[in-house]
Amino acid sequence: MLSVAASLDGYIDDATPDRLLLSNDEDFDRVDSVRAGVDAILVGASTIRADNPRLMVRSEERRAKRVGEGQPESPIKVTITASGDIDPEAKFFATGAIDKVVYTTAAIAPALANRMGSAATVVGLGDEVGPADVLADLAARGVERLMIEGGGTIHTMFLSAGLVDELHVVFAPFFVGDAGAPRFVSPAAFPQDSKHRMILAEAQAIGDCVLLRYLPQR
């Protein structure tokens, strides 16, 4: 399941150093509820570098419910890096007594594993990191429901491969209008094109934002 918040013109951030808040408190709570119901959360290394997210379930009640059901308090945290440019002291790795998994190429994996130490499990996946290989390895680790939260490169990777079963898009009621800002996806060939339209499963107003939940036609 892929979750994203975007401006009306399809941007997921602006070009300033500060994080752009696209959503609102009500939607942040909805996202937290969705997080609490998955086995793992995936973001790209660029998102970790840019936003330094914790990616933990925020609600104490939801964390307690997970623990009561025999699960860790928050889902496994997963990232993908082609360069190995990640900081083991980032909040993503330093927060939460839960598993963190890093996928990279086989060439980079040994040195990165040495640098990451106990902060994360590093997995090398050949000459390139393919989304199907990532999903297969996560499935072998017991992950049945994965939530993908960005950024644009990761969105493009999984959507263009046809590996997203559910898409949540929240639109903020404003425009960014900056060609240098990151967009929801990059140019690619997507299986859900104009001849293969997705199914609108839900449309919900969330304060001044709107959630559209889509399912691909199989």
Whether the pLDDT of residue 17 is over 90: the answer is: no
Read off the pLDDT band of 37 (50, 70, 90): very high
Q: Write down the pLDDT at residue 206.
A: 98
Question: Are β-strands 121-124 and 100-104 bridged in parallel, bridged antiparallel, or unpaired?
Answer: parallel
Whether the pLDDT of residue 218 is over 80: the answer is: no
**Number of domains into which the chain is organized:** 1
Beta bridge partners of 211: 170, 204
Q: Write down the pLDDT at residue 186.
A: 96
Read off the pLDDT band of 204 (50, 70, 90): very high
Question: What is the average pLDDT score of the chain?
Answer: 97
Read off the pLDDT band of 147 (50, 70, 90): very high
Residue 66 contacts residue 57 (beta carbons within 8 Å)? yes
Could you give the count of Cα atoms lying within 13 Å of 147 in the half-sphere of its Cβ? 23
Q: What is the CATH number of the domain that holds 21?
A: 3.40.430.10
Where in the sequence is the domain holding 133, given as residue range(s)?
2-215
DSSP 169: E
Give the pTM. Answer: 0.95
pLDDT (tens digit per residue) in 82-129: 999 999 999 999 999 999 999 999 999 999 999 999 999 999 999 999
Percent of the chain with pLDDT over 90: 96
Whether the pLDDT of residue 58 is over 90: the answer is: yes
Dist. CA 157–CA 181, nearest whole Å: 19
Read off the pLDDT band of 19 (50, 70, 90): confident
Dump strand ranges (E) for the chain.
2-6, 40-44, 76-80, 100-104, 121-124, 146-148, 167-171, 199-206, 209-215
How many contiguous H segments (helices) and E segments (strands) does the chain have?
A: 7, 9
Dist. CA 154–CA 46, nearest whole Å: 10
